Structure 1
């Protein structure tokens, strides 16, 4: 699959639908026109190659217009989480060196950069507009900030080479053609939403329907009305959807598949979702530093629940031991990623870049294994490993055992300080609505599923789990919660 996602190169598609949201619907020709208009507007503000344009917007079509307009000028886009406080937003704006921010109202230190009200974005370029030289794959395209669960967030530099490669590979893997129609429900400050739900269908000649803030109550109405062929979501969203009960008849008939990523999903929840939706849910794995996804189960062919599938087209994955040697099939080691999807580095952080990318291989910090067919299973994060009296314990194993209980919606296990063992596993569990289950019952349930050293020392049933800005369970927050409770 060849092609591009550059709006100005796709205007020839004319009246074919390209991007829509709850208020606006744009054909390919209209999208290209708006991109040119905003590019001219930004150029008038002094924006040129290498400058950074920030957005502070909820999911809406204009966010994609602004990103594409930045690219038209060989500038770089950095989408900021619109849920950030002024302080959090200012950190990203300052760290990225943003020259212009497009938002609904000024954000951060307004004196440091130019503010453009999203409602004043130009829609038609002037007759005098002359576009500059087009960007190349060698140009930076995006600065996506990591969640910052350990230390300050870092800006991940992704170039057009990274994005073009990934969109082509994803189109091949997911079999997305001109009839592809993505329902975008994930936040557009995350690379998953941009790469999987926007660039992939646009490159293929398909379309994107953007919904606002995700709502389980409107999801099936949106699917029935818009008739998308696929969507990408995180486990929490799938849990919310299936916990609502019966799916309206015919609501999901247009869907061909769905993608699950960003966080591990339990086998039980995956099976429940597939049974409810009647379509394959393909679980994948990747990092922002690897342009979203590096492995994914196939839509057709063998899907292995509990794995994240084989390497995506054109990418390489290794499992290595402590000294950097490849380990035998079935043995645990750190997951390394190689290929054209690997980031260019962290912005202005050469030491962090050198620690993460060694000899071209991205060190993920994840522990994984390969099976005999090359399917990857993620065991856990290296930093999340619990050492109980010298025994290495992977929280994901305990989470999988707890998730096998039908009344468990989701759970997270952390290591808590212990005066005798050093660390012990502690579980936080969210149950399905109206489920009647106690911590004692859950402890009894996992007794024959886990060795004694792996059984949680404590199980807390909670209403919800804390999450970072991209929707992943925030284990550092749980560790702080556990430490505070122990100090009382």
Structure 2
């Protein structure tokens, strides 16, 4: 579970995800806790989206009215509400309202194909589809492929696809809606990006979410009001970061998408203190010319994670932004695993920046070989995790759940090691390792090397099979403007530094790396493009 790692110090409560001892009658969901905190300070500015500014009181009223409206439409506890929405305040309110009713919530990534979205909508047994009016055309296409009983829009849409839930909510009372959610009801179903066929949904219960939240105590007095800029999809980590900010007295500024110039201008104008980005977006923010002229002194924590980072580029970011960078390592399946705090981001210590920091309190990590045997410090193996953040399982996929969740240990699919000081280093994804004649090429090692070249801004390394079904190393590279960089120069650089085994068979220069909804390099698309070029040639 990606989280605002800089905003808290973790303290373990329920070890290994054990059952809570409190009776269900006393159970309170995260929604109830957050709404109580907001109701105590109703005039506080809570959400900013474009020219709109919502107070905590307005948000609370909207959540309760929407919960009453959903219930009136027959949306009940134990059913699924699927969101198809961008970063709207109303989308966050809809999630809160649905969870208050006791529904499980699934939020679609907007950049997935209609076929994949339809597979997910159908698979999670969607009772109500709640739609951003800007996505009305996609919603119409989607519901033709996967009909749902109820379609609701977050405002008036340009075409008639369902009822306006905001209009329905306006007719309802703002009296608090009494939550019907039970501890072991499913709270969220989160899908991995790029799912095809039978979707892989990660299940989290209300009880489990509470355990994870208790590992994040309230912030100590900091002498300033926190303000989070959300410019990645709220269907991913940003939605959970908004929850943290709601509870800690802060404000959330929503952007529809990531644009480095807009983000830099907003940091200056709104005096943003907290920002979460995936590494490729950190590089874009740093490389934008406005980063040198904007006043970014308000930043307290620029947290990054979600995919591998390049130590050389992170060192550049520390020099540009100061010691505000915080690396967070976690997975939706595993929860939070480790943090490298701002004070340990020494741009002269690339070895430390290559690590993902120290393992969090309350989290157990074991490095295991292919036979499941625990390996000693410093040896490479699969990273296995056990904590309160470990997922309940995959939605309707017991066989797959059994493969990755064994005796409470989550097999992450990441290759790495833990050193004697309890720092963890992630070397690669098992599925991304490239098997070549002579051994394995770890994609992150080669990306680190390419990114350290003075003419390279970003890179992505991936394997492509040749006509003989042997994997070859390929790379997509974003070169510095007007650098004149050529492929042979990079190949020679790699040959000298790592040997011929790591030398890419092909290097494609691109203006920008394609990214998934979450902001990760889309290696699946890059691989498909390379395969198409191979077949055409």
TM-score with structure 2 setting the length = 0.84
The root-mean-square deviation of aligned C-alpha atoms, in Å, is 2.6
Mean CA deviation greater in 107-116 or 225-234: 107-116
* CA distance in 1: counterparts of 2:151 and 2:97, whole angstroms: 16
SS of 2:119's partner is helix
Deviations 1:151-181 (A, max 9, x none): 6531111223333343453567999898322
In structure 2, which of residues 335, 340, 364 is the aligned counterpart of residue 297 of structure 1?
Answer: 340
In structure 2, C-alpha distance between the alignment counterparts of 1:202 and 1:61, rounded to whole Å: 12
**Equivalent residues of 1:154, 1:347 under 8 A apart:** yes
* Cα distance between partner residues in 2 of 1:311 and 1:125: 50
Aligned equivalent of 1:392: 440
Aligned residues of 2:463 and 2:473 also touching (Cα < 8 A): yes
Which residue of the partner structure matches residue 194 of structure 1? Answer: 239
Q: Answer yes or no: is 1:285 the counterpart of 2:329.
A: yes
Aligned to 1:363: 411
Determine if the alignment matches structure 1 residue 270 to structure 2 residue 347.
Answer: no
Number of residue pairs matched by the alignment: 485
Distance, in Å, in 2 between the alignment partners of 1:18 and 1:136 is 28
The residue matched to 1:83 in structure 2 has which SS? coil
Aligned equivalent of 1:51, options 64, 73, 79: 79
- Asked if structure 2 preserves the Cα contact closer than 8 Å seen for 1:297 and 1:309, the reply is yes
Please name the residue that 1:82 is paired with: 110
Name whichever of 346-355 and 123-132 sits farther off.
Answer: 123-132
1:204 to 226, 248, 262: 248
Q: Which moved more, 1:8-17 or 1:261-270?
A: 8-17
Structure 2 vs 1, CA of residues 128 and 307 (structure 1 numbering), >3 Å: closer, same or farther? closer
Structure 1 residues 414 and 176: CA distance shift in structure 2, 3 A? farther
1:45 Cα deviation from its structure 2 partner: 0.7
Q: Structure 1: which 5+ residue stretches go unaligned?
A: none
Cα shift readout 1:182-212 (whole Å, capped 9, x = no counterpart): 111110111x1122x2122222232211112
Counterpart CA distance in 1 for 2:407 and 2:31 is 30
Give the ranges of 4+ consecutive aligned residues of structure 1 lying more than 6 Å apart after TM superposition. 172-178
Give 1:234's aligned residue. 278
Assess, with a 3 A threshold, how the Cα gap between structure 1 residues 147 and 316 changes in structure 2: closer, same or farther: same
The 1:125–1:275 alpha-carbon spacing in structure 2 relative to 1, beyond 3 Å, is farther
Residue deviations 1:426-479, cap 9 Å, x none?
222121233221111111222331022222233222233333332222223333
Query: 2:159 is matched with which residue?
Result: none
Q: Deviations over 1:100-127 (max 9, x none)?
A: 1111124412642311121131555744
Aligned to 2:154: 118
TM-score normalised by structure 1 residue count: 0.92
Q: Secondary structure at the match of 2:353?
A: coil
**CA apart distance, 1:99:** 0.9
Distance 2:446 2:52 in 1: 46
Question: Is contact 2:339-2:357 (8 Å) kept?
Answer: yes
- The answer (yes or no) to whether the contact 1:36–1:124 under 8 Å persists in 2 is no
Q: Cα distance, 1:301 vs. partner?
A: 5.3
Q: Hey, what does 2:14 align to over in structure 1?
A: none
Match of 1:37 among 35, 57, 65: 65
Aligned counterpart, 1:147:
193
Shift of 1:260: 0.8
Structure 2 equivalent of residue 66 of structure 1: 94
Q: Secondary structure at the match of 1:289?
A: coil
Q: C-alpha separation between the residues in 2 aligned to 1:100 and 1:86?
A: 17
Structure 2 gap segments, 5+ residues each: 1-7, 12-27, 156-163, 347-351
| Preserved CA contact (<8 Å) 2:318 2:345 | no
Query: Are 1:17 and 2:53 matched, yes or no?
Result: no
- Kindly report which structure 2 residues correspond to 1:354-433, keeping only aligned pairs within 5 A, or say none: 354-418=402-466, 422-433=470-481
Matched residue SS, 1:463 = coil
1:254 aligns with 2:282: no
Q: Take 1:58 and 1:245, find their aligned partners in 2: how far apart are those partners?
A: 28
- Larger relative contact order (C-alpha < 8 A, sep ≥ 6)? 2
8 Å CA contact 1:101–1:116 kept in 2: the answer is: yes
Could you say which residue in structure 2 is the equivalent of 1:477?
525
Is 2:62 aligned against 1:28? no
Q: Which position in structure 1 is the counterpart of 2:515?
A: 467
- State the Cα deviation string for residues 316-357 of structure 1 (Å, max 9, x = none): 222111221221111100011111111111111111111111
2:226 alignment counterpart: 180
Q: Secondary structure at the match of 1:109?
A: helix
Distance 1:333 1:269 in 2: 26
**Take 1:405 and 1:162, find their aligned partners in 2: how far apart are those partners?**
44
Q: Secondary structure at the match of 2:315?
A: helix
State the shift of 1:12 in Å. Answer: 1.7
SS of alignment partner, residue 99 of structure 1: strand
| 8 Å CA contact 1:171, 1:201 repeated in 2 | no
